A and B are shown apart, each in its own frame.
Chain A
Amino acid sequence: MIMELLCPAGNLPALKTAINNGADAVYIGMKDDTNARHFAGLNFNDGKLAKAADYVHQHGKKLHVAINTFAHPDNEKRWQAAVDNAVAIGCDALIIADLGVLDYAAHKYPEVERHVSVQASTTNIEAIRFFHDNFAVDRVVLPRVLSVQQVKQLAAKTPVPLEVFAFGSLCIMSEGRCYLSSYMTGESPNTVGACSPAKYVRWQETEQGLESRLNDVLIDRYLPDENAGYPTLCKGRFDVDDNVYHALEEPTSLNTLELIPQLSQMGIVSVKIEGRQRSPAYVEQVAKTWRMALDRYQQSPDDFQIEQAWMNTLANLSEGSQTTLGAYHRKWQ
């Protein structure tokens, strides 16, 4: 079976670029806090949503709509309206994390595909069965916490097709179960759809170097020859008993090109590229590279080789210009 290449788009130009460069499907979010990339200047209003669906469908591809934050008690209707909207423009799949929203979608639109968002933290067979039995879901997106061996074990038993993250910023915590951002800023992926929000970021030149802060907490401090990265709070340097290092994770991106044969053989249905917040230029490079790699594997599965040029392209697009296999590789853990 051919794995689907699922690419991100934060706006219409990025969506068109993804489709034009080989994406089989694109996922997007609406212009509000119903999705986990709720950033200023990003995402789709109602008019753009319809245009996105038209473009994708004219090209015979699929559109997934992420409604993957958790509904607020005073405003559940907004999340339900987002589902209504996505269905109205003819989306091919809804990506949902909240059990209540999933319940709504399953009852109101049983014919529309439901994908369990990575934010639902579904990491084992019984949790998959929970979503299968209660909401007849069509796909589960696995969090970036499983080793390849664990993904394989799940793939062998799951009653629901699986999608995995293939490339992009590396979330090192079980997604949907990380409150580090709200602890520091009051805003989390679950509640407002943002991690380490930009409005809390402050840069300052000091005598000790360039400092990055998130809501006043010092995340990192850079020497003149060091590359400064966005202060995602889990990727700073901290002090553990007088040892200063990247205590949680270094600035790095996930890259699983070399896992294509394994993922394909175990029956993974879709490989997802992270990055709805990224530029069309980024989406173009990543989509093109992954398309080439997947096609190459398709043509000659027995002697699939990764080209160094692909790795270089992807490394250049990565945080800290370095990539990792993340949790797929046990030594990372």
Chain B
Amino acid sequence: MKFSLGAGLFFWPKAQVEQFYQQAMHSDADIIYMGETVCSKRRELKVKDWLGLAKEVAQSGKQAVLSTMTLLESPAEIQTMRKYCDNGDFLVEANDLSAVQIMHELKLPFVAGPAINCYNLSTLKVLIKQGMMRWVMPVELSGDWLKALLDQAQQANLRDAFECEVFSWGYLPLAYSARCFTARSEDRPKDDCRYCCINYPQGRQMKSREGQDVFVLNGIQTMSGYQYNLINEIQNMQEVGVDIVRVSADSEQAFKQLSLFKQQLLNPEYFPLDQQKECNGYWHQIAGMSSKA
């Protein structure tokens, strides 16, 4: 089993991003995803900055992967994404079918990110034909769903055609909108957002009127209010056939989590989840926000 650090989903100042990836290079991650996947207005780092960082990451011995945008609406966004796809050096995580299309045209292998709707074997086959070499399961799917699918892939002699990665820790990316909810929280439309996401390095908690953490507002993205945590499922994940465990780059806490997850493989230990802050429901095919011991 390998461990990956998913692309950072929040908007941080350039210096903080650079410092974060300096730490990432010395972390327990084998694979490091990077790039802006949420909002094209977030331009603290330009394409050349991300490529420079990827180069450093690759030199540190980790696999560097460039993650592309999820919701692309304008020709300019496509143009920028094309630069990532055609970077010439690094693997690309396609988070929209537009990236799949471009990677296929470039005849380059790609990672199908969790926002690409792949729920069954026929879809896996379509994506493999396009050049998919690694599949990140949609976050709402369960361990049983995954097992059924990987067993079918095995029977179809396709299991060696791709690696399987599972989002295992962090705030789950759940939805994407044309609307910026962070700007709305400051009573402004997206076109006048003043890049306010940068003031919320962990997003904004949206609570119920009873104080329950429901969602996290992160620009045009809505995330889970609780942090997803599959630390107690890692043996099961291994049995099912998960190749890569993804820890999301929520904060520097991610590095500690990478170590904990890695230790779980060798010395499994039970970690009770904080039901007010953590969840693992999706893996158990129940409400995502709930948790099962």
> Using a CB–CB distance below 8 Å, which chain A residues touch chain B?
70-74, 76, 97-101, 103-104, 120-127, 129-131, 133-134, 144-147, 150, 153, 172-174, 176-180, 182-186, 188, 190-191, 215, 217-219, 221, 237-241, 243-244, 247-249, 326-327, 330-333
Contact = CB atoms under 8 A, between A and B. Distances in A.
Interface string B67-85: 0001111110110000000
Name, among B77, B126, B130, B175, the residue most crowded by chain A CB atoms within 10 Å (CB to CB). B175
Given A72-B145, A98-B120, A100-B126, A179 B72 contact: no
Contacts of A332: 178-179, 189
A26 B210 CA distance: 43
A101 to B, nearest CB: 7
B102 to A, nearest CB: 6
Interface string B253-293: 00000000000000000000000000001100111110000
Given A173-B175, A217-B214, A127 B205 contact: no
Interchain residue pairs A-B with the least CB separation, the first 8? A100-B122, A126-B98, A327-B178, A183-B288, A70-B119, A145-B178, A130-B101, A178-B175
A80 to B, nearest CB: 9
B77 A73 contact: no
Contacts of B217: 240, 247
A176 B116 CA distance: 9
Given A70-B120, A127-B101, A332-B179, 9 more contacts: A71-B122, A100-B121, A172-B177, A178-B175, A179-B138, A184-B214, A240-B204, A244-B209, A248-B181
Contacts of A146: 73, 178
Contact of A72 (B120, B172, B281): B120
Contacts of A126: 72, 78, 97-99, 101-102
Interface of B: 70-75, 77-78, 96-102, 115, 117-127, 130, 138-140, 145, 148-149, 152, 172, 174-181, 184-185, 189-191, 204-212, 214-215, 217, 222, 224, 281-282, 285-289
A73 B205 contact: no
26 contacts: A71-B122, A72-B145, A76-B121, A97-B117, A98-B123, A99-B118, A100-B121, A101-B122, A121-B117, A123-B72, A124-B74, A126-B99, A127-B96, A130-B100, A134-B130, A172-B179, A173-B222, A174-B178, A177-B175, A178-B175, A179-B174, A217-B212, A238-B208, A240-B185, A241-B204, A333-B178
A173 B178 CA distance: 7
A217 B208 contact: yes
Contacts of B212: 217-218
B189 A73 contact: no
A129 B99 CA distance: 11
A71 B119 contact: yes
B121 to A, nearest CB: 6
A221 B181 CA distance: 21
Contacts of B73: 123-124, 145-147, 150
A146 B53 CA distance: 32
A70 B191 CA distance: 34
Contact of A74 (B148, B176, B177): B148
